[in-house]
Amino acid sequence: MEQTKGSRILIVDDEPNICEMLSRYLTADGYVCATAASADTALEVLATGHFHLAICDIMMPGMSGIDFLNIVTHLYPSLAVIMVTAVDDRDTGLMALELGAYGYVIKPFTRNEILIQVAGALHRNREKLRHQDGEMKLSQQRQSKNDDERKVFKLSAGDARKYLKSRKDALEFMEKFNISAEALLALMNQMVATGEVKRAEVDQEIFLSPGTVVVDVDEDASPPTPQTKPVIKAKDAVVCIRDGMDDAGLMKRYNLSAKGLRSLFQKLVKSRFITEEELRQRLFKSGTVIIEHE
């Protein structure tokens, strides 16, 4: 437990003799202490510096120790808290532990009891923070690895225009570079923004029409009236999506444009057939194309 020595501890108690006694015990054992005579004052102290642990009395004038605990566990999640009380109340003790307290000490207490509680709380809190830090670093490493695995292709603006002159060529383009329909639309918007193509040209391209689809979410209903827009069975589309069919495959299966596929996805999410996370994963797994301007 030596690694916890030097930790900063805030003692919160309206009885000056308790603050003085706890401060004496802890300072002699290598800790750095500050005191506060109320929970309100303690919050002001916490706002001015970093502390590793707070020892707080439960029954105080004004804000109670329980209210203080409830506040600091949200404002300062890295702060460990030990509650102190003169009343041996099991329910209050359990409430304090449920709210996140690391310990519950009943007055009168001994020096060794306090030192053991403090060392244990600091050690457990340090391990918790270390675990959280490890999880965060692991998550960042996974994200970095996934970013590295994403394929980035460079293509001249002239070649991009050549690939995207029809729906057939657009599908070939998507399959060649393994990009999603959303990435295809983003690519076209990029070319418009840089002046490689005009917005009117994009809007009239075959592969960008139709812009919407009709999703049949109730397969037991009577057949819909004739539509000019594609009608797609929601359950069939979900099976294809979850079986791993890529965007180009879906566009071929349902004779959709890039805009039409986007419309299909939006309607499936709105009807709760698929989740937003599933869409993010599809986009994440696809490649990215960067236009090199001539």
Kindly state whether residues 135 and 9 are assigned to the same domain: yes
Integer Cα distance of 289 and 160 in angstroms? 10
More confident residue, 137 or 74: 74
CA 23 to chain centre: 40
Three-state secondary structure call for residue 17: helix
Q: Nearest Cα to 176, choosing from 246, 237, 121? A: 246
Kindly state whether residues 258 and 159 are assigned to the same domain: yes
**260-292 tens-digit pLDDT:** 888 888 888 888 888 888 777 776 666 666 666
Kindly state whether residues 154 and 275 are assigned to the same domain: yes
Contact present, 151 and 259 (Cβ < 8 Å): no
Kindly state whether residues 155 and 279 are assigned to the same domain: yes
Integer Cα distance of 52 and 71 in angstroms? 16
Q: Decide if pLDDT at 233 tops 80.
A: yes
Kindly state whether residues 85 and 192 are assigned to the same domain: no
**81-102 tens-digit pLDDT:** 999 988 777 788 888 888 889 9
Q: What is the CATH number of the domain that holds 54?
A: 3.40.50.2300
Kindly state whether residues 130 and 198 are assigned to the same domain: no
Kindly state whether residues 121 and 240 are assigned to the same domain: no
What's the whole-number average pLDDT of the chain? 79
Question: Distances from the Cα of 18 to the Cαs of 22, 53, 199, 254, in angstroms?
Answer: 6, 17, 75, 76
Question: Distances from the Cα of 155 to the Cαs of 118, 159, 245, 292, in angstroms?
Answer: 62, 7, 25, 6
Kindly state whether residues 136 and 14 are assigned to the same domain: yes
Q: What is the pLDDT of residue 225?
A: 47
Kindly state whether residues 246 and 162 are assigned to the same domain: yes
DSSP 52: S
Three-state secondary structure call for residue 38: coil
Tally Cβ neighbours within 10 Å of residue 264: 24
Integer Cα distance of 151 and 178 in angstroms? 9
Q: What is the pLDDT of residue 229?
A: 62
Q: Which domain holds residue 208?
A: 150-292
**156-204 tens-digit pLDDT:** 767 777 766 666 677 777 777 777 777 777 777 777 777 777 777 666 5
Which domain-ending residue is among 143, 165, 196? 143
Which domain-ending residue is among 143, 168, 202? 143
Q: Nearest Cα to 213, choosing from 266, 164, 253, 272? A: 266
Kindly state whether residues 119 and 156 are assigned to the same domain: no
Q: How many domains does the chain have?
A: 2
Kindly state whether residues 37 and 132 are assigned to the same domain: yes
Q: Please, which residues have CB within 8 angstroms of residue 225's CB and are 6 or more apart in sequence?
A: none
Q: Decide if pLDDT at 221 tops 90.
A: no
Three-state secondary structure call for residue 161: helix
Which domain-ending residue is among 143, 162, 187? 143
**24-75 tens-digit pLDDT:** 999 999 999 999 999 999 999 998 889 999 999 999 999 999 999 989 988 8
**Residues forming beta bridges with residue 158, ordered by sequence position:** none
Give the position of tokens 């999880």: 135
Kindly state whether residues 94 and 195 are assigned to the same domain: no
Contact present, 229 and 263 (Cβ < 8 Å): no
